[in-house]
Structure 1
Amino acid sequence: MKWLIAILAVSPVVVTAGTFTPPKGCTAYLTVQLSSCRVEQHWTCAGDPEGDHWALTIDADGPSYLQHLDREFRWLENYPLPGDFKRTLRQPEADPNSLTDLLEKGRDDFDFEQTVLRGGKPFATEHVTGFDKLTGTKVRIDGEDLLVTEFKFQVESKSGGDTSRTYGNQYVSPKFRLFFQGRETEEVGGETYQYDEKPMLFSEPGEAGFLADKPKFGCDEMMSGLQMPLATAKERRDEL
């Protein structure tokens, strides 16, 4: 896929035109501005299996993360950007991600492995286990109805690296069948990191902000090195 190579190389068409250009043969359907100086672009491609979609995260410096997901939100491929690392899902999984189970039953447990590649060559395997659970809380952000989840997962390297544990709350859109990050805590290597990356604006085709490739929120705080404490962060949301 030439378009994938272009994105992985931080192609200028993605980061300098002011408007994101989806890959040839693909159709963008959603742009999401996050509170953490990031913007997400979501698209589907004609040659992919039905239900597959791609998500590109762009921060103040350009593309930072690319994901290939399916209808159940299984992590098929992901690419930290820039760089030559890639993670691919090892199939079949012991217990695959199932967004359907989460929406219909209120909880989804998962257990799967990822192959980590560097320069196209496998060099590690990661074991991912955890759960997503609906809390019963519904919120509306920029007119979009979202469900709040509680989640926890750990990533254990089979090559002897540090085990990371991440937990907190996320948002799920039944309409788009997408997860969006929220307030999260990550523990790895004896360090603890906290994040608040909730969605702020949703733009579909024809709406203002669709395909915008520049983050709109939180960049001043990022530039000054300030971080908003999770306990006092004010959420821009309307309770349903």
Structure 2
Amino acid sequence: MHAMRSNFLGMAICGGLFSALPAHAADFKPPQGCEVFMTVQMHNCQVANYYRCAADPEGDLWTAFADGEGIYYLSHIDSETRWLESVSTDTGEIEMFDPGASKDAPSFSALLSDGKDDYDFVTRSNYRGLRRYVGSDALTGNSLSIDDVPLETITFDLREDDQNGQTVATRTGTQYISRKYRVFFSGAERFENDQGDVVSYDDSPVRFDFPGDPGFSTETPEYDCDLMMTEADLRPTRVSLAPLSRSFSKEALQ
């Protein structure tokens, strides 16, 4: 995607995706012309399938997030991890990058070369209208391996403003990056909205599955699901912040 599409067009395209995605199947099936290359089991009863589509520009990437009830979120980024579009299946919200209004889109290349990347960009939603995101990512210099996949840690801070310039939410914490796959993964984060609601969570990856692995392309999460059911009445209500599609935390959704 090189330009902002209308909400109508975005809804039509994403509607086509929904029709191709099974809501409660054990195995994730990407849309026709797309291929899954990695499945990530995460804490807090979540699983993410990463896939590429032949019709997209080179480097574009889609991710389908699922919990025990099926797919609840789709994201689409480019090779620089710029948020192109996202879809919440829970609410029907479609949020899309507005290049004309954005001052400084995220750059994965800048993060790797400079050790820090500042960004200031705008999205438009069929529900919430204009949203401005201002923040920065910084490499910590620390690396680790999760399930034999090499990762590096970053710290980040992110502010979300509405169309009137009022701050409606902030997000801070740590995340992981993969240089090989040019993606971000969630870590320990803190979210606060303008009503004073605060949520802390850690949706870090637990296991990576690739073609040939038993868990590859599954839509069934495996970690912390019993705990999530036990604590369902105690967990805070999910507060409203459309996540950067390059990295996702379910707790930040309504």
TM-score above 0.5: yes
Structure 1 residue 207 and structure 2 residue 213: aligned? yes
Q: What residue ranges of structure 2 are gaps of 5+ in the alignment?
A: 1-9, 236-254
Q: Classify the secondary structure of the residue corresponding to 1:15.
A: coil
CA-atom RMSD in angstroms: 2.1
Superposed displacement of residue 14, structure 1: 2.1
What corresponds to 1:113 in structure 2? 122
Pick from 25, 33, 39: which aligns with 2:41? 33
Q: Classify the secondary structure of the residue corresponding to 1:102.
A: helix
Question: What is the TM-score of this pair, normalised by structure 2?
Answer: 0.82
Superposed displacement of residue 7, structure 1: 4.6
Instruction: Describe the superposition over 1:102-142 as per-residue Cα deviations: whole angstroms up to 9, x where unpaired.
Output: 11211100000011113xxxx51111000000011101000
What corresponds to 2:23 in structure 1? 15
**Residues of 2 paired with 1:169 and 1:113: CA distance?**
23
Native 8 Å contact 1:94 1:112 kept in 2: yes
Native 8 Å contact 1:15 1:213 kept in 2: no
Native 8 Å contact 2:34 2:52 kept in 1: yes
Superposed displacement of residue 8, structure 1: 3.8
Listed as ranges, the matches of 1:92-103 within 5 Å are 92=100, 93-103=102-112
**Residues of 2 paired with 1:138 and 1:166: CA distance?**
22
Native 8 Å contact 1:125 1:159 kept in 2: no
Structure 1 residue 4 and structure 2 residue 14: aligned? yes
Q: Which has the larger share of strand?
A: 1
How many residue pairs end up in the alignment?
222
Pick from 181, 192, 200: which aligns with 1:194? 200
What corresponds to 2:224 in structure 1? 218
Compared CA separation, residues 83 and 129, structure 1 to 2 (3 A): same
Structure 1 residue 171 and structure 2 residue 176: aligned? yes
Q: Classify the secondary structure of the residue corresponding to 1:100.
A: helix
**Residues of 2 paired with 1:44 and 1:76: CA distance?**
14
* Counterpart code for 1:4: C
Native 8 Å contact 1:69 1:77 kept in 2: yes
Pick from 43, 48, 61: which aligns with 1:53? 61
What corresponds to 2:98 in structure 1? 90
* Counterpart code for 2:211: P
